[in-house]
Amino acid sequence: MTFRKLALSAIVLAAMEGGLAQPLTLGEHLALRGYTGKALGQVMAEEMKWNSLHILTNNTSICAALVGSMAASYLDLQGQRRLQVTVLATPEEVPALSPKEEAVALIFGGQASLEVNYGLTKNALQALAEANYGGALFFHLRIWGPKLVERAAQEDPAIARYLGGKQNLFTATYDPQANVLRVWRVAVREGKQVTVQEMLRLNPNPTWETLLKRSL
């Protein structure tokens, strides 16, 4: 057997044994967002105790799955919690915003490009800053992880001033080595993203853990 065939055999064997993560199918992406959305919706309802929530999201199927799962987990059968969802396909579609809800969640990720998600984030933050929205803001990992909030704050002084004065900013991150989903209170100080306080930890079950790790 040639060296090339040996190498290929080793790659196949490693993949079969779990040594190489296989890309998620679209169905697995939706399942992952089901697990994640359920957890985040419960946190917002039971831990944050927000009685009303406004979700801003893009129009991709993966984000739709996450938002749908969040909504189903957040809402109660008695109708005491209220939800509004605004779907935005492009940054240019972001309207003037003046939310009446206690919190706004920016859920921009999915199949949209990084630059589209950045444009949505920046324009949404500009609109919220202009309205001087005083409620809580929750940032999707796909926004906070690549520092899109920091980039927006550094490009727009009005966003930096607005976020710099807020004490109610939140996000969630995943630590694959410890298999822990952490919910954080965060801040933007002098245009820089910083973590302030760990609010709680969640331990994904084995199926959720596998999907999370394969998505990284």
The answer as to whether 98 is a domain residue is yes
Residue 136 lies in a domain: yes
**What is the band of 213 on the pLDDT scale with cuts at 50, 70, 90?**
very high
Residue 64 pLDDT more than 70?
A: yes
Q: For position 33, what pLDDT does the model report?
A: 98
Residue at 4 is within a domain: no
User: What percent of the chain is predicted at pLDDT more than 90?
Assistant: 88
Instruction: Give the three-class secondary structure for 135.
Output: coil
Q: What distance in Å separates the CA atoms of residue 138 and residue 47, rounded to the nearest whole number?
A: 13
Taking the whole predicted model, whether its pTM rises above 0.85 is answered as yes
* Residue 5 pLDDT > 70: no
In a domain, 85, yes or no: yes
Total domains, the chain: 1
Taking residues 147-173, what's their average pLDDT? 98
Give the integer Cα–Cα distance in Å for 154 and 79. 40
Q: Does residue 14 lie within any of the structural domains?
A: no
Residues spanned by the domain of 145: 26-215
Residue 137 lies in a domain: yes
Q: Say which CATH number the domain at 194 has.
A: 3.40.50.2300
Please check whether residue 15 lies inside any domain of the structure. no
Backbone angles phi, psi at 14, to 5 degrees: -60, -40
pLDDT of 25 reads: 96
